[in-house]
Structure 1
């Protein structure tokens, strides 16, 4: 082999553009790019850099499709004589028959520490669940989604006040660096794969509005994690106050031990505090809110003079 590989790239959004840009800058031959078409789903447009635009500017043919297992695409892939398929935020299952069209098969980049947090929105789920570690995994694409043998993995700590947006920006550069390291290891013949323990695997679904609604009977720690997990530009964790939907954008544990009925708003010397469920301290200090159809503002400003309960 030479110093570069012939790679067919499958990717979407900013994760995909950053990975493809790194492959091209490193001199790898990318004769074909496969990406998803633009989506009407707002969740698909948060980090919506266009893989199509990047590939087109580089003079690379592009196929846009939701699923990549059609016979027509298989014929097109055969003609590329690819050594490797690289997937970065490719969001649908890729069949073993498609992967077998490249000499080294396919590798995928996933923003979690597999085998845990396979599936969708792994950063958001990890923070909502109070995890202190996440990362990026490069694994072989095999029949079961996100369960292929692991080639590379890098750990990223999650600090107590960090949000999903913070972790997105800290993990994003790893897509480029780990993709290049993985391709280099395969090209040199030094790649070493480790089987995943499927007994440790967890698979998460896409997040929806119901996953973002606050249950004030949950402990303050859990609600704080949910708010961190749904940081802007993600759709915010929300509740209703006096019939109005309110997104809670920033919060922190209350500095003293407030107790009482979950959902009760207290205007205190510390600021706007909402009581949560047991166990432990029940107060959550609400710092920034976004009322329905209004810009974000300090919670103390929005709730000034108010009293009552969140639904």
Structure 2
């Protein structure tokens, strides 16, 4: 099987083994941890930098450079695996199981069908599935004020987020968490579940179960960078959750001032001031470290990491 780089992998090396599908930093972390746990990975499917940039992939990782010397890598020519070249190459082998982590596209049915046991991925949201299917589930859950996440490890089916469950783990969203740390927690959970079950997955004798089949679906919509506009009239909690749900590696929450967008990357409640007469969006304190205290709808927000103009001062409006 030829990749789009100079590396190549023979199909027979993939047959009956574990193939990881992904292209982000958490894909690399998953692979490195799995190899530390002595889990044999037969192959990797990923995309190159150019394709990642065209598809606005956050935190892309060069898996060919990072692990290509140790694990055969196939670099796909289309993110959706829809190209004839991808179909020919990936149809030529029959792995036992696929692990999808850091791949933000649905896998085509023909590819799912090449795996003996199936392809397994993770979907984390505030409620057990099917409440919380769809796009950007962790971001949406934090924006909505969730205080815990259900991390579902499940087998992929043609319909998104609808497959049988291998494991469901619930964990708390702490006050210091943001989208980055929550993704890290999810990756750790995913690695642990695969560590426990990888032998059964390869053999094809794993026990799966349905998650709340009688509960109505709720599907999250895709989030775009323009959805990150912040409103200072919101409550402090809503603003803080909104910011931490979209911080790096995502585009970030932003405000518009003088017809320009300015990003806010980190904020926390500031429960010292009691003046309720200050208009939302007004700067009430400035600190030497560049952080600001801004009035919100029901209190004050400490804006601790941002790209706001450096000349802002007391009384300025954002």
Range class of TM-score, shorter chain: 0.7 to 0.9
Q: How big is each residue's C-alpha offset from its partner over 1:40-88, in whole Å with a ceiling of 9 and x where there is no partner?
A: 2695243x22223244222514132311245554443343232222211
Contact 1:149 1:196 in 2 (8 A): yes
Corresponding residue to 2:252 among 231, 236, 240: 236
Corresponding residue to 2:296 among 234, 254, 276: 276
Whole-Å separation in 2 of the counterparts to 1:72 and 1:218 = 50
Q: Is 1:166 matched up with 2:174?
A: no
Q: TM-score, normalised by structure 1?
A: 0.79
Corresponding residue to 2:122 among 84, 89, 109: 109
Whole-Å separation in 2 of the counterparts to 1:272 and 1:293 = 11
Aligned 1:205-284 pairs, distance under 5 A: 205-241=221-257, 245-255=261-271, 256-260=273-277, 262-267=279-284, 272-277=292-297, 282-284=298-300
Q: Secondary structure at the match of 2:68?
A: helix
Q: How big is each residue's C-alpha offset from its partner over 1:102-126, in whole Å with a ceiling of 9 and x where there is no partner?
A: 2212212334454343333333222
Q: CA deviation at 1:11?
A: 1.4
Contact 2:149 2:173 in 1 (8 A): yes
Mean CA deviation greater in 234-243 or 5-14: 234-243
Q: How big is each residue's C-alpha offset from its partner over 1:145-181, in whole Å with a ceiling of 9 and x where there is no partner?
A: 1221111122221013422222233333223222233
Q: CA deviation at 1:144?
A: 0.6
CA 269–94 in structure 1, closer or farther in 2 if over 3 Å, else same: closer
Whole-Å separation in 2 of the counterparts to 1:54 and 1:289 = 31
CA 78–205 in structure 1, closer or farther in 2 if over 3 Å, else same: same
Q: CA deviation at 1:91?
A: 1.8
Q: TM-score, normalised by structure 2?
A: 0.77
Q: Is 1:87 matched up with 2:112?
A: no
CA 263–23 in structure 1, closer or farther in 2 if over 3 Å, else same: same
Structural RMSD (CA): 3.2
Whole-Å separation in 2 of the counterparts to 1:233 and 1:63 = 23
Corresponding residue to 2:61 among 49, 60, 63: 49
Q: CA deviation at 1:226?
A: 0.7
Corresponding residue to 1:143 among 145, 158, 169: 158
Aligned 1:19-38 pairs, distance under 5 A: 19-25=30-36, 26-30=38-42, 32-38=43-49
CA 179–143 in structure 1, closer or farther in 2 if over 3 Å, else same: same
CA 262–36 in structure 1, closer or farther in 2 if over 3 Å, else same: farther
Q: Is 1:124 matched up with 2:139?
A: yes
Number of residue pairs matched? 293
Contact 2:265 2:305 in 1 (8 A): yes
Aligned to 2:19: 8
Unaligned runs of 5+ in 1: 295-301
Corresponding residue to 2:201 among 186, 189, 193: 186
Q: CA deviation at 1:188?
A: 5.7
